[in-house]
A and B are shown apart, each in its own frame.
Chain A
């Protein structure tokens, strides 16, 4: 590519000033990017249920099957626990 980037007709001071302005804009863009990533990550961590098998950033479509399996297992564990507690209560009642 042959592009005329510089030109003797433009005052070098103006070019430098424009470059500085661009650098300031770039710096602000970087700051904004870091803030957005930070805030988004914090929000994602807050709403992710790690105990239920969710994984940060991969809780969407890609591992839907794994999520369903984890949910089923969690349900089964909860049901087993409830049955165990019910049996224990029943046993206690019959003892009395």
Chain B
């Protein structure tokens, strides 16, 4: 697919601070920071290694900046399709608030600053992983995958799965199995999370020519894929219990969250969400699943923080 790099911004307007914040995709940034913090806290709790709180704060700030940088690069490249889709037409670049070049410059400078800060605050491995995840999202997902394959979300999902690994590496300088388990949870969680949204927004993606699964394979196949990935996610979400990373708090939270997520996935699978004749009820159901998926991930990682950060870890097999 060709990319229109000569896109005209609609009537320029003065940018506000809010436009620059929006350029960093703050909602994604919050989830990224939260999962990175969970990885960091879990690493301290599991290994017993200490990290200076100020340096830990700088490491988390570096992750936030890196996420924002990748978001800005994504908005720079996607400005042409953002202008076509109603959902994204009011973003800072298509709305004419921020010049496209400025967004790219901001993204690149922030990328360098974030990696440098991570290196100074922790170690080369964490900085390297942060750099890799920025390149993965900003270049591999945004430029290579997104407009080429319906599997863009599956493969590109790895970018969002790195933060807990980076958080873990920032503390220990290593990435053991537990860190990659957290990676796997986010990696498998991403497709059902995003496809639930795309069931609602598929006409927009079609208009912009982005090959999201509902556009290329239809709503029925997407609903099936959502169900399959949610079924895979159910045991993956429980793996921290097998390695001892999660205790009773995690077990109860993950158990309830998994039941809820599966319930939503089955309901969406049996519905006509995403179909041409789908009504408001189906739309609400898909958006409900999208919202619940965020709650699911938040719940799992919050349980880890509570257990490992607040000393409430109770091992399943007893002390």
Q: How far is the CA of A14 from the CA of B14 in the complex (A)?
A: 8
Partner of B120, one of A7, A9, A40, A59: A40
**Cβ of A87 < 8 Å from any Cβ of B?**
no
Chain A residues 14-65 with CB under 8 Å of chain B are: 14-15, 18, 25, 33, 36-37, 39-41, 43-44, 47, 57-62, 64
| Residues of A in contact with B, size category | 20 to 34
**Cβ of B173 < 8 Å from any Cβ of A?**
yes
Which chain A residues lie closer than 8 Å to B5 at the CB level? 1
CB <8 Å contact, B173 and A60: yes
CB <8 Å contact, B117 and A37: yes
Which chain A residues lie closer than 8 Å to B100 at the CB level? 1, 3
Chain B residues 29-82 with CB under 8 Å of chain A are: 52, 54-55, 58, 61
Q: How far is the CA of A64 from the CA of B117 in the complex (A)?
A: 21
CB <8 Å contact, B173 and A40: no
CB <8 Å contact, A60 and B55: no
**Cβ of A10 < 8 Å from any Cβ of B?**
yes
Q: Chain B interface (Cβ within 8 Å of chain A)?
A: 5-6, 8-9, 11-15, 17, 52, 54-55, 58, 61, 96, 99-101, 113, 116-117, 119-126, 169, 173-174
A-B contact pairs, 17 of them (CB 8 A): A1-B5, A2-B8, A3-B99, A3-B101, A4-B96, A5-B12, A5-B99, A10-B12, A10-B14, A37-B120, A43-B52, A47-B52, A57-B119, A58-B124, A61-B125, A61-B173, A62-B125
